[in-house]
Amino acid sequence: MSSIKYRHLSRNSAHRRALLRNLVTSLIANESISTTYAKAKEAQRLAEKMITLGKKNTNAARQRAKSIFFEPDRHMEKLFDTLRKRYEHRPGGYTRLLRQEPVREDQAPSAILSLIDGPRDMRFSMTAKAIVRQRKENLPMHELTAVNIRKVTRFRDGGEEALEEEIKKLETAMEDQSLEEKEAFEEDGTTYEWVRGEKNRRTGVRGEEKKGPGRLKRQPVGADKIV
């Protein structure tokens, strides 16, 4: 009795291998890729093995990695230097897979595959944003946020300091944005407020200024609601 041990991805063996090599090369280079969920899952398996090769840092590991990379001369140093040092004390789980809304016309399940503890770590960024919001609104630390703080700082080099630095950057960016909006709104002497865009009751379609769920638009204070 046989069982399927991997996804064939509707390709023959050679084409499937070339596809995964390309995805993993892009992941190591850019630290984040967006593709179909099935491809991301298979690329994740190979990416984890690549990071393990980088941590071994032996001649055999280098030869194996070189056979997988496209343009290995551009990426070998990052794998065997930058990423090896980043994950030196992490026992495993070097990548994170997050589902996202389908981005292809055929509505195939999509996902984002990224390296963790790096500059494009989505959980790190989302945790920082959550802390900024809670501090701004004087809310108590949410239990889930506390769990995420431990996860994103535990193995990151200088994790707590890096998180606090990211929080300060976000707070500064929010202050600058608020100042720019205030100056822009007051140019014509009219006081504005942010309001939620709503669908046109007759057509069910959002107006040009109101596309997208939850998007905000500005209107003069006291103005009649536009539908």
Please state the pTM of the whole predicted model. 0.68
What is the structure's pLDDT at 180? 80
What is the structure's pLDDT at 219? 58
DSSP 173-223: HHHHHHHHHHHHHTTTT--EEEEE--B-TTT--B-GGG-STT-EEEEETTP
Using left for φ > 0, alpha for ψ between -120 and 50, and beta otherwise, residue 98 falls in: beta
What is the structure's pLDDT at 214? 47
What is the structure's pLDDT at 174? 87
Per-residue pLDDT of the chain (227 residues; tens, 9 = 90+): 445 566 677 777 889 899 999 999 999 999 999 999 989 999 999 999 999 999 999 999 999 999 999 888 999 999 999 999 999 999 989 999 988 877 666 677 889 999 999 888 888 999 999 999 999 889 999 999 999 999 999 999 899 999 999 999 999 998 888 888 777 766 655 555 555 555 555 555 544 444 444 455 555 565 554 44
What is the structure's pLDDT at 208? 47
